Structure 1
């Protein structure tokens, strides 16, 4: 049986409460076995530090700066990554010209580009946005390229047969068909962007959650460090959830499979033309094949 939403939310809340309870117990008792929990601040210490930060202006300034950087860099990466991925997947010439350069640059960690950003851009703000954009660009590019190449050629041929132009094919077949893969790359990209923007703020930033977290570490303010970590985690969860919800909204036309306990999925059975009573086995098999063919043609027509 499928659990009700209220039950699922209760389980999630209980899981979070259990984790916080274990943290409070281990740190308050100063357990030192192999892991040294005596060095950790307790949950109550972090909560008091969080309350103090919320009452000041610096916390909200850091929060605004980090969100501005992450949203600007991620928006640029989404546009450039999708456009480049479609171009490389659809054009052999673009793949030959851009593919080698992209494959050489892709394995380089985005945080390793901090010296490059310092040399290229006149301000630290532009350099941090560049690092954030680079971090999200390649996951979006790779997922878009694979999604476009995995499309069924029948859809494109159907639109071309009806006189559709390249723009029509791109708008009606390529982009809608590749949307699930594109949003998969966007979900990965937003997480990587948070990692790199916090690291960039620690190295070359003047404001931001990452900068403040590093400053707290240098002055041995460990509750403040955990305040920064919790803030980063919550912001990352909110932005990732927003991307996922947007993806579900734009791909609501896709068929959904229902979960069945035991690790199996329940898929809808294809429509079949009913066989006549007492029909021969060959006639029944032919009727089922015709029904399956009719279902596939209807699905292809709907997607086009």
Structure 2
């Protein structure tokens, strides 16, 4: 009996020690270790000119990339490229977020919109956004507007499709309840549809932002004059491989930060959702 009691007390103490804060810090520690391990492996393989099918002896070492990164951070051009890429992504993605949600709600709620806009959206959706570059060059008078348009197209369809699916997945009982209480169509939209689709909308925003980053960098490489993508491609053309890796790392950090911001906003807006499993 004493052994059973001692075991129960030990389990209780272990569960008390394993608090959400502890789990969160443990998760952050593991993530940091995984990144450092990858960087250490990169340095090890490149510093020793390892060639096992993959030719690590041709890649710049971590120390070379850090030196190139430090040189760029001391100049003004790096920050100008950074601001230009952020301006393009925020403009294109912002327009896609607003228009994509509106069109998605219309397609999910209106049979007229589904019959008129729906076929056009489904025909255009499989076309890669980067394939729109020639059209953007012909359609817009400046490269800047064309890059923003490509970014908009890239983010629009994931947001629109996710919103449409979220609208169609709403239980009809919710709408019937509001209408039974005398609510109008706008009451249903404001009290049922918009709050109910928020998880799906933010899922589409997260996916759309990732696709938008891919396309804005590609568009900058093809027709840009400034931006992280343009500078990365320019470094490649002059055989500045450390500069190429600086651009790649910068793109990764920008995508990570912006995606994290969208996910954080989504958690704040949808904090009413149960997240017991997510915190474990």
TM-score by length of 2: 0.91
Partners of 1:37 and 1:174 in 2: CA distance: 53
| Match 1:81 to one of 87, 100, 108 | 100
Is there any run of 5+ residues in structure 1 with no aligned partner, and where? Answer: 262-304
Aligned residue number for residue 223 of structure 1: 242
How many angstroms does 1:259 deviate by?
5.7
Matched ranges for 1:12-161 at <5 A: 12-161=31-180
Task: Tell me the SS of whatever aligns to 1:41.
Answer: coil
Higher helix share: 2
How many angstroms does 1:260 deviate by?
9.5
Is 1:11 paired with 2:30? yes
How many angstroms does 1:49 deviate by?
0.1
Partners of 2:239 and 2:66 in 1: CA distance: 17
How many angstroms does 1:89 deviate by?
0.5
Is 1:197 paired with 2:197? no
Partners of 1:257 and 1:103 in 2: CA distance: 37
Partners of 1:203 and 1:259 in 2: CA distance: 41
Matched ranges for 1:156-235 at <5 A: 156-235=175-254
Aligned residue number for residue 11 of structure 2: none
Count of aligned positions: 261
Partners of 1:259 and 1:199 in 2: CA distance: 34
**1:168-212 CA deviation, whole Å, 9 max, x = no partner?**
111110010010001000000000000000000000000000000
Partners of 2:222 and 2:28 in 1: CA distance: 38
Aligned residue number for residue 252 of structure 1: 271
Is there any run of 5+ residues in structure 2 with no aligned partner, and where? Answer: 1-14
Structure 1 outlier segments of 4+, above 3 Å: none
> If you compute each CA radius of gyration, which structure gives the higher value, 1 or 2?
1
**1:118-155 CA deviation, whole Å, 9 max, x = no partner?**
00000000000000000000000000000000001111
Q: Which has the higher contact order (CA 8 A, sep 6+)?
A: 2
Partners of 2:238 and 2:270 in 1: CA distance: 48
Partners of 2:37 and 2:279 in 1: CA distance: 28
Alignment RMSD: 1.2
Partners of 2:52 and 2:177 in 1: CA distance: 67
Task: Tell me the SS of whatever aligns to 1:248.
Answer: helix
